[in-house]
Structure 1
């Protein structure tokens, strides 16, 4: 029996999703709104007997076992009947929200899982919409027999298996090709076989291997070949080939293409930044034909590209996105869920602003990280976990808004609150400038600036949810740019600790505050939990102790130094 591990949310969204791709769908603002909605209802005394209830179920279907998991927002008991409450937030008045099939489906699954857990004959499923702006409520509910819910669950799973059958066929062909795959060259370069053997052992033993290998040894094939072999022998789910340069991504692409030409049947995708793949140059989902009806077409697009392409590069993504009229960037991210290898920038695995939430937000899988040019990563990590906020950005925004409303007899309170909040941010900058700070570098986090930035963000969010909000306003783009700068500043502030310093930059025209991550080692160590094994390699990965310490320490680290023709392995566990 094959085990299929999937969350209830991912399952029902994949099978039942429809409609348009929204510009706010994956934004931090939407996530924050959801948290606020949950907290508001969950904190109402007496509303629930329990909240955030974890539920799991092993569900056999044909020759598979689905390992389903999820979390019940609120559990109530009314007239001796249990109630599953699925909470969803909205910017509209809740009364304007119609029952959504995907939202209700989550509740039905959780209801069925809870019935089995408690041996219940019936349960009530409630879908509650909460209006963020006016705290309005609107609910849809129905009492279900457990047999009705079982039929529903089975039907959704059946529809998913129709797609899953395609994936299983591709995976069977992949495994057979991996099993028979030979090294694609007649001979090994000096040290190359050693690097492959140690890379495989590191993956097998779930270690972190740091390799210093000379240019020309063939590091890309020496890591990809054993990592691909591990996919059938060690049951690794996915390989992330991480790099900071386009030329290295092309090298990985060429290497995989070579193995494909020799019979390897694998699905690999190169992720391209949105601005480099959008056919219109600037993303505008509200009026984009590729975003409208996206979810009505995306599953067919994914099936098409997986069945007909092995190496899914930028050109392939654009070709199939145009054929199916789907957003190429979101299409590439959705397709990556079903690929065996993901080739991408370091950012997609580590940067808090763009990391792949599809893979790393909740429980990570059996992922292998191959990190090319690893000597570049520490400086990149410092940049990822640092952020700067500028005084002039807020002053310019305030000036732009005042210019737009000049002469108007009425100013919306929400807009006036934004103006006031920019003044508070400005005051905090002035307060920092007035302090006698030696070298303008200090260890303490600027709490006042943090609080003022948070107030600004909340003011903008209330304005965006108000009826007075209009995207056509002349200052809209500037408002959103400053909003996301402030949001990023606060997000990085959550990491602030011993590894940080605050730097104050000032001149006659501007003042800037930078949260600078001097030592990202603890953050990197935590984020490396997203993989079960790491192979980091470079021609200049010295001194070894520095890179090992900065990337989580020595606990499970191994160092291999290869110099043609001499080979040194510093850990006897990996000696041949």
Structure 2
């Protein structure tokens, strides 16, 4: 056995103790950290070395890492840490961890260069002030060796356990069999494509019809491929909770079919959902589950590793049994689990934990992105940022005295920015973000950072929320480019909204795909391929596969309602014809139907007229802001053998991700093309898409709209036994450019 561990991971395992304490936060962004390291290195003399690769071993343990900096002339090794605010506020256990890392690097450097002693320095670089605080100590090689061996000894039992687990896991996965008696039609082709992609180490865009079992059809082949391809982790990423539930269900079925399968499965849950004490701050003086967290973590970690199945409930039970925070136990177990199931943001966001862990530990990871058509819009939100001047105005009235000067300066800078723009325009795009405004924003950020670190008990939700908005805006400003817009929206009486609006997330996502050993993006709606490839930043050699549908046109009658327009100007005139189409279809074949419209307002008008003209037909409708229980009640109306009409908004929770097989749903009416609203923002997106891809209207309106239509229509046919009808209510569905975006297995729609 030869177990490999990174220096940072070794130190974090052996040298952390005491309370969980997040008061010395937030940390600088990754880009700020890189810039800070570069600034420190630029200040050093000739011959200064950066990112020095070091490795060593002790017994069965191989330790590797990259030291931040080394000055051969002074024989000084530097561990550089970027920070914000008063360094005196840093908890002692943070400093102890940093020294542990420096000492491990120090021994590896002494061993590599044959040094008798070495100077170790912790260099704390303040991002705001650009000042360094250097703490230096000289250590002889024997003492550093003793420290290194002590840390290795502490880790060795765990390393042996992990090495044995990995060997058993890989042996079992190499012999894994499909957990069902047979593949469904289309499922085997999907699994084969995913497996081939894992072997080639590429990126795959897989379009596969709803109802064939896409989740287990992608998870199974990747698990099977992991041993031979030397893959360390599988990340299953989803846009919504149902997708994560399906992934856990598939993994649970695989485990059930192979009892004692040594596979650690972790469900990652958002902090606000996992927190046991949302009214308390994350430090030992406030929260009992943070007090002594690192002292009790080893026992909890060992129990969690042995339990292996770590969904939300299991993880919570283990954490509370040891008196520690469930959320942060989950963060810890992300280091030791074989398969992690979570939201897109855990890998694709700017500060994504799973991506950071994979990079720090040089893991070979397989990434699965479920319902990947959602990734475009989700990624746009991840890499967009907005500041509200109205909130700044309110904050200035209640801000602590030490912050008023910097907030006043920011307000003046914001007013100056407003005056520089066209006063008659309610919305306008700026050429860029003015440097003077960014300077004022940076100064305000630094002032708030200093205040919050000096007054950790100060509770002000408005200040905290504004602060995090500022930090995110500054981070997005660092990477501003043609992929984003900077726009200003005027709201009389409330100031302006300043937004960095990402429209092409490709530059941010491309490095994430490149970092994965293999990645598969799958959905029932991923055409046209070039649209998703361009916006998501897929590599040039990405493979595309369109799995043949097990369904055929005999199962689904697709009709286009001629002579009806759902354009905004003609919607009132469309109400009565739409109601007649719904009523006619229902009278022809009574059963459960869904009607999709483009907005709540349109939905309510159609539903009201339908109820008035057909009072004998049961109907129900989606309301704004429905809670989970209300959504469940809405779906419960679609009972087997039931009859009635449900009204819902296209793109909402009932338009994708729900399963109503058999006669629970026999038809759908889609009274819209799903096109995004024509407004100044979307028009600017259209112009930018035209500049970048030469297909502005298609990229901004047509493709996103038709993706929602096909998803909604996909609710009707869920199994090979289903029979149903889809009404496409708008004359534009007959246009060739629209018709070519409909699934080929539908056949030619019939005009009625």
**TM-score bracket, shorter-length normalisation:** 0.7 to 0.9
Distance 2:526 2:38 in 1: 47
Distance 1:191 1:506 in 2: 52
Distance 1:228 1:205 in 2: 15
Q: CA deviation at 1:27?
A: 2.2
Q: SS in structure 2 opposite 1:28?
A: coil
Distance 1:136 1:251 in 2: 49
Q: Is the 8 A contact 2:452 2:458 kept in 1?
A: no
Distance 1:137 1:551 in 2: 41
Distance 1:222 1:134 in 2: 52
Match of 1:374 among 372, 375, 381: 372
Residue 433 of structure 2: aligned partner: 445
Q: Is the 8 A contact 1:85 1:127 kept in 2?
A: yes
Q: Is the 8 A contact 2:236 2:339 kept in 1?
A: yes
Residues 364 and 18 from structure 1, CA distance in 2 versus in 1: closer, same or farther, beyond 3 angstroms? same
Match of 1:454 among 437, 442, 454: 442
Residue 219 of structure 2: aligned partner: 224
| TM-score between both structures, scaled by the size of structure 2 | 0.66
Is 1:141 matched with 2:137?
A: yes
Cα-to-partner distance string for 1:340-391 (whole Å, 9 max, x where unaligned): 1110111111111554464256575211111110111111111111111111
Residue 482 of structure 2: aligned partner: 498
Match of 1:177 among 166, 172, 177: 172
Instruction: State the number of aligned residues.
Output: 544
Q: SS in structure 2 opposite 1:440?
A: strand
Q: Is the 8 A contact 1:244 1:376 kept in 2?
A: yes
Residues 14 and 343 from structure 1, CA distance in 2 versus in 1: closer, same or farther, beyond 3 angstroms? same
Residues 283 and 228 from structure 1, CA distance in 2 versus in 1: closer, same or farther, beyond 3 angstroms? farther
Q: SS in structure 2 opposite 1:20?
A: coil
Residue 241 of structure 1: aligned partner: 236
Distance 2:384 2:291 in 1: 36
Q: SS in structure 1 opposite 2:521?
A: strand
Q: Is the 8 A contact 2:6 2:361 kept in 1?
A: no
Matches within 5 A, 1:364-443: 364-401=362-399, 414-434=402-422, 440-443=428-431
Q: SS in structure 1 opposite 2:102?
A: helix
Residue 290 of structure 1: aligned partner: 289
Is 1:266 matched with 2:250?
A: no
Residues 69 and 311 from structure 1, CA distance in 2 versus in 1: closer, same or farther, beyond 3 angstroms? same
Residues 499 and 138 from structure 1, CA distance in 2 versus in 1: closer, same or farther, beyond 3 angstroms? closer
Higher mean C-alpha displacement, 262-271 vs 457-466: 457-466
Q: Is the 8 A contact 2:426 2:490 kept in 1?
A: no
Distance 2:434 2:122 in 1: 42
Residue 517 of structure 1: aligned partner: 502
Match of 2:511 among 520, 526, 543: 526
Q: Is the 8 A contact 1:374 1:536 kept in 2?
A: yes
Residues 558 and 358 from structure 1, CA distance in 2 versus in 1: closer, same or farther, beyond 3 angstroms? closer
Distance 2:138 2:430 in 1: 58
Q: SS in structure 1 opposite 2:291?
A: coil
| TM-score between both structures, scaled by the size of structure 1 | 0.85
Distance 1:559 1:36 in 2: 37
Q: SS in structure 2 opposite 1:185?
A: coil
Distance 2:490 2:53 in 1: 53
Is 1:71 matched with 2:59?
A: no
Residues 58 and 311 from structure 1, CA distance in 2 versus in 1: closer, same or farther, beyond 3 angstroms? same
Residues 212 and 2 from structure 1, CA distance in 2 versus in 1: closer, same or farther, beyond 3 angstroms? same
Q: Structure 2: which 5+ residue stretches go unaligned?
A: 553-752
Please tell me whether Structure 1 or Structure 2 has the larger radius of gyration of its CA atoms: 2
Aligned-CA RMSD value? 3.2
Distance 2:125 2:242 in 1: 48
Residues 424 and 97 from structure 1, CA distance in 2 versus in 1: closer, same or farther, beyond 3 angstroms? farther
Higher mean C-alpha displacement, 354-363 vs 526-535: 354-363
Q: CA deviation at 1:98?
A: 9.7
Is 1:83 matched with 2:56?
A: no
Distance 1:125 1:53 in 2: 15
Q: SS in structure 2 opposite 1:189?
A: coil
Higher mean C-alpha displacement, 389-398 vs 160-169: 160-169
The structure, 1 or 2, with the larger RCO (C-alpha pairs under 8 Å, 6+ apart) is 1
Q: Is the 8 A contact 2:103 2:120 kept in 1?
A: yes
Residues 38 and 94 from structure 1, CA distance in 2 versus in 1: closer, same or farther, beyond 3 angstroms? farther
Residue 725 of structure 2: aligned partner: none
Q: CA deviation at 1:535?
A: 1.0
Residue 347 of structure 1: aligned partner: 345
Q: Structure 1: which 5+ residue stretches go unaligned?
A: 405-410, 568-576
Residue 407 of structure 1: aligned partner: none
Matches within 5 A, 1:34-49: none
Q: CA deviation at 1:533?
A: 1.0
